[in-house]
Structure 1
């Protein structure tokens, strides 16, 4: 791991007490050897005002390492393939989490992020779970990518466990259920709130998750605090597990793996 300095560690602990990157109180150890996971992140690295953005690091790393440590093989993809930009704000020593420390010293994951797979080139049936990472970059491509929507439609039809946090659920925006209706219509979904978008002052992005997901019929859920970046919420609806922001990462990954275990048990007893 790339360890932060002692002062940064103290400030990180203070932020955690305030609600940033909380530990999962129901953390569970899984053995999912032989299973495969796909983590999908954005290709967009610049906001329209020229400010750097990308995937918010922990919204990718937390799920990636949760799956990896459970024995799963984990691939990394993006709408276009190639470089996944990492929001530089998210890897500052005070903001990042322990999984981000691990990422910064992990040549294998850095190589996957530098040369990600193109989602349209993949056979989604090769995977058991698909996780949609967030970050402001995803507001520019996840809800507009036809290949991503098509693969999420296929993933749902095949019964894969699908999860995401923050802006990641925008990858479900144009996916369809088996009847051809919007996949999220009537489904409980959580993602970034309109309040959080307003609080952080980044309202120029083309898609705001709460607004867009409500617009296609999702039953949007969230928690609110005086500052929504420190709030936390996640929800399970069938094979969909979604979280409000980076704080839900550990819980969403754990719930996804619990669903996968349940699926495997149902298959073995049928």
Structure 2
């Protein structure tokens, strides 16, 4: 074998090492670390996963949308627990997905499962518009994140009304990462901010700064604090690898893309503890 052949072999070996080695390396650093959700039997209950409809990152024209695992992880956690799960978005129709978020090296098992699931993909391509959703039809309303959510979750009057009604009814409300922006415009029955005095989390201002994507119009930490929330979070050498989940009554929030498993787990715990007749949809 000449030197060119040795070089080709070396390149192939290096490529294989990167391809197979990078995902577990990222997990070891904190990205999507293994989390075991125990079994639940909650048949007859219903969950709604809400996503953004915004497909571009400001005026840059760069594509964005929902971050894959922030939708797929809770989707399957709820589905595997026996819940019927729907997907809604602010405008309805096809949901934009953040590029690479469901691909190597970031993809989770649930991302790959979702991509191969005809029923789930059908829901993604024809999501329910928020205007077509009733709070009383669901026991859990969960808001997924992604950069697109910074452009339409807090800005949606319809979503604010939905979350306010769900809260008044005692439904469980969850979010992860930028999904927490769906809480900031919701209110209590007396008109005060829903999150005022409540413990919550979401993606940190530091993580946004570390990614260098500060052009988005809404930043969860800043918006939640401005609405009077008690904001909690963990940090790491890069906040992309941190995680934190907060449970405050019927609000269950996760810090970022790493928090989906525990957030879904805590939601299922809360739902299991509720009297079943309390969570049945009203006629």
With the shorter chain as reference, the TM-score category is: over 0.9
Larger Rg: 2
Paired residue for 1:174?
Answer: 185
The answer as to 2:38 corresponding to 1:28 is: yes
Q: CA deviation at 1:103?
A: 1.0
Provide the alpha-carbon RMSD of the alignment: 1.6
Relative to the length of structure 2, the TM-score reads 0.90
Paired residue for 1:37?
Answer: 47
Q: CA deviation at 1:264?
A: 2.5
Paired residue for 2:208?
Answer: 197
The answer as to 2:182 corresponding to 1:187 is: no
C-alpha spacing 1:265/1:122, structure 2 compared with 1 (3 Å): closer
Paired residue for 2:82?
Answer: 71
Q: CA deviation at 1:6?
A: 8.7
Partners of 2:138 and 2:66 in 1: how far apart? 22
Paired residue for 1:223?
Answer: 234
Q: CA deviation at 1:265?
A: 6.9
Partners of 1:114 and 1:234 in 2: how far apart? 29
Q: CA deviation at 1:10?
A: 3.0
Instruction: Describe the SS at the equivalent of 2:101.
Output: helix
Runs (4+) off by over 2 Å: 5-10, 264-268
Q: CA deviation at 1:197?
A: 0.4
Paired residue for 1:245?
Answer: 256
Q: CA deviation at 1:92?
A: 2.0
The answer as to 2:99 corresponding to 1:50 is: no
Task: From 78, 93, 97, give the equivalent of 1:86.
Answer: 97
Instruction: Describe the SS at the equivalent of 1:39.
Output: strand
Instruction: Describe the SS at the equivalent of 1:202.
Output: coil
Partners of 1:64 and 1:22 in 2: how far apart? 18
Q: CA deviation at 1:267?
A: 6.0
Q: CA deviation at 1:79?
A: 1.1
Relative to the length of structure 1, the TM-score reads 0.94
Instruction: Describe the SS at the equivalent of 1:162.
Output: strand
Paired residue for 2:114?
Answer: 103
Partners of 2:141 and 2:154 in 1: how far apart? 16
